[in-house]
Structures are given as structure tokens and as C-alpha cells.
A and B are shown apart, each in its own frame.
Chain A
Amino acid sequence: EVQLVQSGQEVKKPGESLNISCKTSGYNFANYWIGWVRQTPGKGLEWMGIIYPGDSDTRYNPSFQGQVTISADTSISTAYLLWRSLKASDTAIYYCARTGDTAIPNWFDSWGQGALVIVSS
């Protein structure tokens, strides 16, 4: 069974850094793209970017380029989303999700449970 288990809720202050994780199991982690999706009440679901763990090919939505870093560690089948300096506007639920096809990024067939990130002074 494919499983994606995310790290827990975080409460941070503006300017702080944060790294959230997505530990996967039940499939060959290196062979499927993993993406990150932001959900806010105002903007719905936003596709942030995606990584192919096998060769670390990473693609970003221009809206998030430079704001976050996506990475993956194949030795522990885990993907990460990193902020170096959080803003209040980063407050949201963040989902990791696996694509349904090994070749190219496409639909997301398996999702993590979501991680709530709250950024407040």
C-alpha cells in the first residue's frame, strides 16, 4: 500500500526557517515524481512544485520559485519542503502528493495527510 506520512503542525514566527517532511512507503520512491500543494481558504489548491527523487530534477511554479526549496532523500524515501524565511502569508495547509505515472509529472494519485503551518508573531 502506498503511504505518504507528513510531519506535524508547525507554529513559527515570521523570519524563521522551517523544513517539513513527507515520508513515503509502499513503492519505489526514486521512480515517481512527488509534488507539494498549498491550500488556503482564499486561494484554494496551488501547485507549488515537483521533484523526481531518482535524479533530483526539480520544477517550481514561478510563484513559489525562490520562496521554497523542494528536496528528496532516496535513502529514507522522504521528500522535504524548506523555507529559509517564513512570512505570515505562508500560513496554510501543505500537502505532499505522488504522481500517478513514473514518466512525467501528471495527476496526483496518493496524498499525505497535510501539514498545517501557522506563521504569526
Chain B
Amino acid sequence: AQSVTQPDIHITVSEGASLELRCNYSYGATPYLFWYVQSPGQGLQLLLKYFSGDTLVQGIKGFEAEFKRSQSSFNLRKPSVHWSDAAEYFCAVGVPQGAQKLVFGQGTRLTINP
């Protein structure tokens, strides 16, 4: 069965600093990979997705992620964070065989220092 690990439960960065959130997945083939963001009291918003092709994907709000097959990783990056980026970030994996089921990591809570 597929699984997702986000090693960092909580990360604090200063406004304007760069950000990298880690995500490792376990699956026998190349899955569909997603990053979602959740603000307090809100649902999940899709930041970006990887299905195939170019391993560096661009998303909304200036985020990007890189798929590395050899490391089973899909890390999320942003060159310069803004205070409004404070939220919880979830990495998720979907199985290509038709189902819409997503398996989520435990999430990384991002705090921004002014």
C-alpha cells in the first residue's frame, strides 16, 4: 500500500527566506503526487501536482516542487516566503489505477517570523 511521510511536523522560517518542505512516498510505480495547503478553519487548496514528464513542476503562489524518482521524494520549495504562507501543508499520493483515493502525509505546519 502506498504511504507518504512528511518528516517535519513544524517549520519556522523568517519572512523573505527560502523554504523547502520535504515529502517522501512509498509506492511501487510512479504515482500521482500533489501538494495541498490548508489555512486554519479552511479546506484544502491544491498548490501543484505531478503526473509525468518534467520533474520540476510549478504551482500557484510561487511554489514549485521537484520529483526525484531515485529518492522517492517530492519536495516543495519557495524562494521567498510571505507572512500569508503560514499554514499547514500536505503532500499526497494518488494511485494511477483510476481511483480518486488520496493518501496524505501528516502535514507540516509552517510558521513565518516577521
Task: Tell me, yes or no, whether A binds B.
Answer: no
Residues of chain A at the chain B interface (Cβ within 8 Å): none
Q: Taking beta carbons and an 8 Å cutoff, which residues of B are in contact with A?
A: none
